[in-house]
Amino acid sequence: MSSQAKFPTLSQEHVIGIFEEKGALLTGHFRLSSGLHSDKYLQCALVLQHPDVAERIGSAMAALFSDKKPEAVIGPAIGGIVIAQEVGRALGVRAMFSEREGDSMTLRRGFSVAKGERVLVVEDVITTGGSVQEAVDALVALGADVVGVGVIIDRSGDRATFSVPFKSLARLEVSAYTEEECPLCRSGEPIYKPGSRKS
């Protein structure tokens, strides 16, 4: 069976359409988990709360990396947890998540990787890729062989780069500003912090 037959693919237009249909592409003034400000926010939880949709997205991401033969999938908490589970399900491998302990991203709750184990890191959406890079660094330090980074939507505008193969199901060009540069701050628009990090 070809990987195409086993893992149905999704076009970029289909992925963005799902976010729009589920009301997950928000407009306003947002502080992203990266610290940057934007007039748009992708609330992936509104999409991934639907198990049938999460399964389709996970299978499509698995298709991007099936040739790398991952032995485990890890997503940074919180955004990467559900998609890691679905990609792991599609590939038939363990799914885990990394989380913050102090200032570092690490594996907790008894999760571990073996030296040389082939690991795929996945995330829901990235702007700078900071959390993903921290997860990659933590896994490399534990001796894992990180075979790639996959995300549902890359909104980094090519700012996020990794030393391993990096693929996304969709790319979205969205403006992001530092607090000092933000025109929405200057206009007095109320700011919202819808992400998982509150600091």
**pLDDT greater at residue 74 or residue 42:** 74
Q: Does domain 3-186 fall into CATH 3.40.50.2020?
A: yes
Q: What is the pLDDT of residue 161?
A: 85
Give the pLDDT confidence of 97-110 residue by residue, as tens digits: 999 888 888 888 98
With 60 as the cut, is the pLDDT of residue 33 above it?
Answer: yes
* Pairwise CA distance, residues 130 & 157, whole Å: 14
* Pairwise CA distance, residues 164 & 94, whole Å: 20
What is the length of the chain?
A: 199
**Averaged confidence pLDDT in the chain:** 89
**pLDDT greater at residue 36 or residue 146:** 146
In the structure, what pLDDT confidence band is assigned to residue 195 with cuts at 50, 70 and 90?
Answer: low
Give the pLDDT confidence of 129-167 residue by residue, as tens digits: 888 998 999 999 999 999 999 999 998 888 888 889 999
Q: What is the CA radius of gyration of the chain?
A: 17
The model carries a pTM of 0.84
